[in-house]
């Protein structure tokens, strides 16, 4: 007599999820014909699959001494476990599909403080979260050059920065907002007393305060460009790290600052904001990200930023 175990080994049959699906359908329908119709296969094919499953397991699953479908003890155990396995497989498939559609995952976002003042950061993330509630957002304030470096290194996914900025190879950018610039001046400055607008050309002798950046980066670059457009090269002090420090320096009379219009929401004591209607220079809010992005959640955020900002 042939040893069933040796026969099974020589054929090397493969246990697959479809075997469990066929078996569960048969148990639930209690009839081969109805189960085959439910599965969309021929009845003889279903019978062959059930026998193949019994051969793989080395035990009978059905009590064939009875006319109706009746489970053996092994068959009952398999049915109970099969229900758990198929349910878990459905959970796994659903999770994979959510990931592939960008509905779950994580997006790490950097921003400069002035981008937050504009409302663009909060607006973008809130709108994205409405459509992608399962995605986790990591949000960190960070100097713009550090943001760009970390995106290249894979430590950050997306950046809200202020142009101009040197963009590393492999990153893409687009401008989401062009803001008019204004002058931040100390309260009591002759400019704030005499008129409601200012001409930068009249401020050639002033000290202009900017964040600690090179001349071609961020507000240092914007300040330099605006003053050059007005016909002079500015005296620039870039000893402050952010606009809170710059505002404090302006308030004590240490100088003036070129700022985006959205910064008007920051009402520090002792400062005034004066429009600059004669300049064409704008403060551009820019987003940056990798040109080739593997994460579906990050790709969805990038697409969202292009559509909605």
pLDDT tens by residue, 180-217: 999 999 988 887 666 677 788 889 999 999 988 888 88
Number of domains in the chain: 3
Q: For residue 5, is pLDDT > 60?
A: no
Please tell me whether residues 117 and 260 are part of one structural domain: no
40: domain CATH number is: 1.10.10.10
Please tell me whether residues 169 and 302 are part of one structural domain: yes
Domain boundary among 99, 127, 148: 99
Full domain range(s) for residue 20: 4-99
Domain boundary among 99, 117, 142: 99
Please tell me whether residues 145 and 160 are part of one structural domain: yes
Please tell me whether residues 215 and 233 are part of one structural domain: yes
Q: Classify the C-alpha dihedral 268-271-276-281 as positive or negative.
A: negative
Please tell me whether residues 92 and 134 are part of one structural domain: no
Q: How confident is the model at residue 9 (pLDDT cuts 50, 70, 90)?
A: very low
pTM exceeds 0.75: no
Distance from chain centroid for Cα 216:
28
Q: Please enumerate in sequence order all residues whose Cβ is within 8 A of that of 43, keeping only pairs 6 or more positions apart, or say none.
A: 32, 33, 36
- pLDDT for residue 199: 85
- pLDDT for residue 179: 94
The most confident of 18-27, 63-72, 260-269, 278-287, by mean pLDDT: 278-287
Q: Name the token pair of 120.
A: 């663009």
Task: List the Cα angle 195/197/198 in 5-degree steps.
Answer: 100
276: domain CATH number is: 3.40.190.10
Please tell me whether residues 24 and 84 are part of one structural domain: yes
Look at 56-60, 72-76, 185-189, 195-199 and tell me which has the smallest mean pLDDT.
Answer: 195-199
245 CB burial (10 A radius; 0-12, 13-18, 19+) = middle
Please tell me whether residues 279 and 301 are part of one structural domain: no
Is 241 in contact with 226 (CB distance < 8 Å)?
Answer: no
Is 60 in contact with 74 (CB distance < 8 Å)?
Answer: yes
- pLDDT for residue 1: 41
Please tell me whether residues 243 and 261 are part of one structural domain: yes
Please tell me whether residues 274 and 138 are part of one structural domain: no
Q: For residue 10, is pLDDT > 50?
A: no
- pLDDT for residue 101: 65
Q: How confident is the model at residue 105 (pLDDT cuts 50, 70, 90)?
A: confident
> What is the DSSP annotation of 154-214?
TS-SEEEEES--PPPTTEEEEEEEEEEEEEEEETT-HHHHH-SS--GGGGTTSEEEEES--
Please tell me whether residues 75 and 113 are part of one structural domain: no
């Amino acid at each position: 007599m042939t040893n069933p175990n040796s026969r099974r080994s020589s054929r090397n049959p493969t246990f697959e999820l479809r075997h469990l699906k066929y078996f569960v359908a048969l148990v639930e329908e209690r009839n081969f014909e109805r189960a085959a119709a439910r599965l969309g296969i021929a009845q003889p094919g279903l019978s062959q699959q059930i026998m193949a499953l019994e051969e793989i397991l080395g035990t009978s699953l059905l009590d064939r001494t009875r006319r109706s479908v009746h489970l053996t003890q092994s068959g009952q155990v398999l049915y109970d476990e099969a229900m758990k396995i198929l349910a878990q497989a459905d959970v796994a498939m659903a999770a994979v599909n959510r990931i592939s559609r960008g509905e779950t995952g994580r997006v790490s976002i950097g921003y400069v403080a002035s981008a937050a003042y504009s409302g663009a950061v909060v607006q973008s993330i809130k709108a994205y979260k409405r459509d992608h509630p399962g995605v986790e957002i990591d949000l960190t304030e960070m100097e713009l050059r550090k943001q760009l470096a970390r995106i290249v290194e894979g430590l950050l996914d997306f950046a809200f920065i202020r142009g101009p900025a040197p963009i590393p190879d492999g990153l893409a950018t687009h401008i989401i907002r062009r803001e008019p610039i204004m002058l931040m001046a100390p309260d009591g400055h002759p400019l704030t007393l005499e008129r409601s607008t200012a001409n930068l050309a009249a401020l050639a002798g002033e000290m202009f305060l900017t964040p600690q950046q090179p001349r071609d980066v961020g507000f240092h670059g914007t300040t330099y460009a605006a003053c050059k457009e007005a016909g002079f090269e500015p005296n620039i002090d870039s000893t402050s790290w952010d606009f809170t420090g710059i505002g404090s320096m302006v308030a004590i009379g240490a100088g003036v600052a070129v700022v985006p219009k959205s910064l008007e929401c920051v009402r520090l004591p002792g400062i005034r904001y004066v429009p600059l209607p004669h300049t064409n220079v704008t403060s551009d809010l820019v987003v940056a990200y990798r040109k080739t992005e593997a994460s579906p959640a990050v790709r969805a955020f990038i697409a969202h930023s292009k559509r909605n900002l």
